[in-house]
Amino acid sequence: ARRARLSATSGPGRTSDGHPVALLANVGSAEDHLDGAEGIGLFRTELRYLDRTEAPGFDEQVEAYTRVFRAMPGRKVVVRTLDAGADKPLPFLFADGEPNPALGVRGLRVARRHPEILRVQLDAIATAASAAGADVAVMAPMVATVAEAAGFVARCRAAGIAKAGVMVEIPAAALRARPILEVVDFISVGTNDLSQYTLAADRQCAELAELLDPWQPALLDLLAMCARAGAETGKPVGVCGEAAADPALAVVLAGLGIDSLSMSARAIPAVREALAARTFAECRAAAAAALAAGDAEGARAAVG
Ligand code: PEP
Ligand code: MG
């Protein structure tokens, strides 16, 4: 009983019968709270680019990435390349304005216009990774197609980055999770944007919170599709949106077969406890019950 209690309050995420689910932190810098995290599942690199008139230089980036990697010796750190646009505007990249920024040239799409920005960032990540000793992986935001995923992996390989994946934040990518997984090393589902694009509801619009609810059946179906693609290809599938921080939903995600959950580190203890209180079979049953429900409220109630 003592061991079970210890594992519920610290250490790696796992169900009561030992099925592992890595509990990782979402961070923006080395100053962010990391206690209790097994690694970093989403390192948002936008911070360095905000309030600037041009992109940060190579040396500045190497220094910033090295500080984060040093905080996680031997642990996993997933760096997300620049995710600019829409809710993360950057004046030097978007001077023209766009009629629909959330559907515009944002995330990885910025590299079509400014390939040098991505190249410098990947070189800086590779340089920092080779010196710092963390287990570094890189992923691109806002990927819609297999071709974009393959192109990103090729750029990562050219920069000397061994582990390259993509975020699944666009329904097209979730629907094509299997062929995307065939060309990348892993995927990580960003449920904040995936909800926004699946329900066509602006994530910044509080009035539409009910549509943005990650328990929406359409979102659960897409998550299940991603998890299945992971099982079929033998490649890791993570979740790094806010949904991962909901302990009851974390149980469902574990039951779907999601390998890692990344969230604000402060949310990790409650998620760890929820997983440790259930067997993997109970998580699978919770996932099946949630998928069978007709609406978000029903899915929540079915898991209890
Ligand atoms: C997401 O979209 O779920 C995500 C993790 O990225 P961000 O919230 O930074 O867009
Ligand atoms: Mg996103």
> Across the 304 residues of the chain, what is the mean pLDDT of every consecutive 10-residue run?
51 96 95 92 93 92 96 96 87 79 94 96 97 94 98 98 98 98 98 98 97 98 98 98 97 98 97 98 98 98 93
> So what's the pLDDT on residue 124?
98
Q: Is 44 annotated as ligand-binding?
A: yes
Q: Is 169 annotated as a binding residue?
A: yes
Report the DSSP beta bridge partners of residue 77: 40, 136
Give the type of residue at 221.
Answer: D
Instruction: Determine if residue 176 is labeled as part of a ligand binding site.
Output: no
* Ligand 1 center to 144 CA (angstroms): 15
For residue 8, what pLDDT is reported? 57
| Atom of ligand 1 minimally distant from the CA of 189 | 3
Q: Would you say 35 and 297 are in contact if contact means Cβ atoms under 8 Å apart? A: no
Position 1 scores a pLDDT of 40
192 CB within 6 A, ligand 1 = yes
Ligand 1: residue whose CA is nearest its atom 6: 190
Select from 166, 240, 261 the residue to mutate for testing ligand 1; criterion: most ligand atoms less than 8 Å from CB: 240
Burial of 100 (0-12, 13-18, 19+ CB in 10 A): exposed
pLDDT at 9: 65
Predicted local distance difference test score (pLDDT) of residue 2: 43
Ligand closest to the CA atom of residue 194: 1
Whole-number Å distance, alpha carbon 169 to ligand 2 midpoint, is: 6
**Residue the block writes with tokens 């959950």:** 261
For residue 262, which atom of ligand 1 is closest to its CA? Answer: 5
The finding on whether 241 has its CB within 6 A of some atom of ligand 1 is yes
The residues carrying an active-site annotation are 240
203 assigned to a ligand binding site: yes
Pocket flag, ligand 1, residue 164 (CB < 6 Å): no
Residues within 5 A (CB) of ion ligand 2: 169, 190, 193
| Coil/strand/helix, residue 213 | coil
Helix (H, G, I), strand (E, B) or coil at 221: helix
| CA 274 – CA 271 distance, rounded (Å) | 5
CA distance 232 to 3: 34
Q: What pLDDT does 6 receive?
A: 45
Parallel, antiparallel or unpaired: strands 260-263 and 186-189? unpaired
Residue whose Cα lies nearest atom 8 of ligand 1: it is 192
The pLDDT value given to residue 3? 45
Between strands 164-168 and 40-44, the pairing is: unpaired
* Rounded distance from Cα 244 to ligand 2 centre (Å): 14
Could you tell me if the CB of 169 is within 6 A of ligand 1?
yes
pTM of the model: 0.95
Q: Residue 155, annotated ligand binder?
A: no
Beta bridge partners of 88: 85
Residue found by looking up tokens 């980036």 in the block? 61
Q: Is 236 in the pocket of ligand 1 (CB under 6 A)?
A: no
Ligand nearest to the CA of 189: 1
Q: Tell me if 27 CB under 6 Å of ligand 1.
A: no
Does residue 190 have its Cβ closer than 6 Å to ligand 1?
yes
